[in-house]
Amino acid sequence: MTSTATPATADTRPPAPDPAPAPPRRGGTSRLHRTEKRWALLFVAAPVLGYLLFILYPTGFALYASLTRWNGLGPMQFIGLDNYVALLGDERFRQTLFNTFFYMIGIPIGLAISLALAVMMNRKIFGRAAFRAIYYVPVISSIAAIAILWQWAYNGDFGLVNQFLAIFGIEGPNWLADPAWAKPAIIMMAVWKGLGYSMLLYLAAIQSVPRSLYEAAELDGAGGWQKFRSITLPMVQPVTFFLIVTQVIGGAMIFIEIQIMTPTGGPEYSTASVVYHIWLQAFRYQQMGYATAMSVVLGLLILVITLIQFRLNRRNAGFVVD
């Protein structure tokens, strides 16, 4: 900053020998410092710029758009909080909000199953590697492909699920066409798809539990269940926390599987999620302003829920996320 001898153009080819006469003492370090600093700024600039352009600007834009009547094409018309007022009376929005949170029942179920699987996969059982791979396959598969396959599996007449149930003499429902069963059907699929990922994280966490803890417990005469409850479970708690937070956020934004498996939002709108409703309003009914207001509300809801989770987590366990 102090050097004035360097013309501005020199900045464009930075590492060239610095022509500025450096003070003899601190020469090496200060020159190095200066170039380093410049480089550092450049590197920092990239993500900051990206953040401004792709996060902050769109967020601000969305906030403004949510206060307008806008069809996504023409000029925006400022209408204050009208969209939010309309939202309060929107029965379908409430219904989709309910549906979306209903789907989250799948999160604890999925976590319990994947923890159980992780414990099993941690044993030296035959074909362990193969099982791990099999459970992970759904995670790397395209959600669109999976949704289509499950749509077939849920077919009322010939679907795999009902054929399987028929073996036990159970006559399965017409899953995706029955308002009572459509949501559970989607939950099952989501649990199945998420198992591999949660299992992998749990497995890694279990394997990093110090052996000495188990040995000490064994010396004290602890059984298998006691060891699991008092050592494994608390030790993997950070992973549980991470999974719950990320899955709640992801679950709040569930859309693709809904749109593919039930293109009309399901029987009597029983599978439509909030994002599905937003998408419909924005792109089918050209109410971009209103749809944006809904997504702002959804974003705030997710934020609040996540904050509550952090608070609860801090109180219940020593583990703190900085």
CB of 299 to another protein, least distance (A): 20
CB of 56 to another protein, least distance (A): 14
Nearer to another protein, 157 or 220 (CB): 157
CB of 86 to another protein, least distance (A): 9
CA 41 to the chain's CA centroid: 31
Nearer to another protein, 230 or 264 (CB): 264
For residues 145 and 280, give the distance between their C-alpha atoms in angstroms, rounded to a whole number.
22
Nearer to another protein, 53 or 312 (CB): 53
Hunting for tokens 């409703």 — which residue is that? 277
Nearer to another protein, 124 or 284 (CB): 284
Nearer to another protein, 232 or 259 (CB): 259
Q: Which residues pair with 78 in a beta bridge?
A: 68
Nearer to another protein, 63 or 321 (CB): 63
Distances from the Cα of 289 to the Cα of 68, 101, 282, angstroms = 5, 24, 8
CB of 33 to another protein, least distance (A): 15
Backbone angles phi, psi at 78, to 5 degrees: -70, 125
Alpha helices (H) along the chain:
27-51, 57-65, 82-88, 91-103, 106-122, 128-140, 143-153, 160-167, 182-207, 211-219, 224-227, 233-235, 237-252, 256-261, 274-279, 288-316
CB of 275 to another protein, least distance (A): 14
Contacts with another protein, residue ranges (CB under 8 A): 14-15, 39, 42-43, 45-46, 49-50, 53, 69, 71-75, 77, 155-158, 174, 177, 264-265, 267-269, 283-287
For residues 176 and 178, give the distance between their C-alpha atoms in angstroms, rounded to a whole number.
6
CB of 24 to another protein, least distance (A): 23
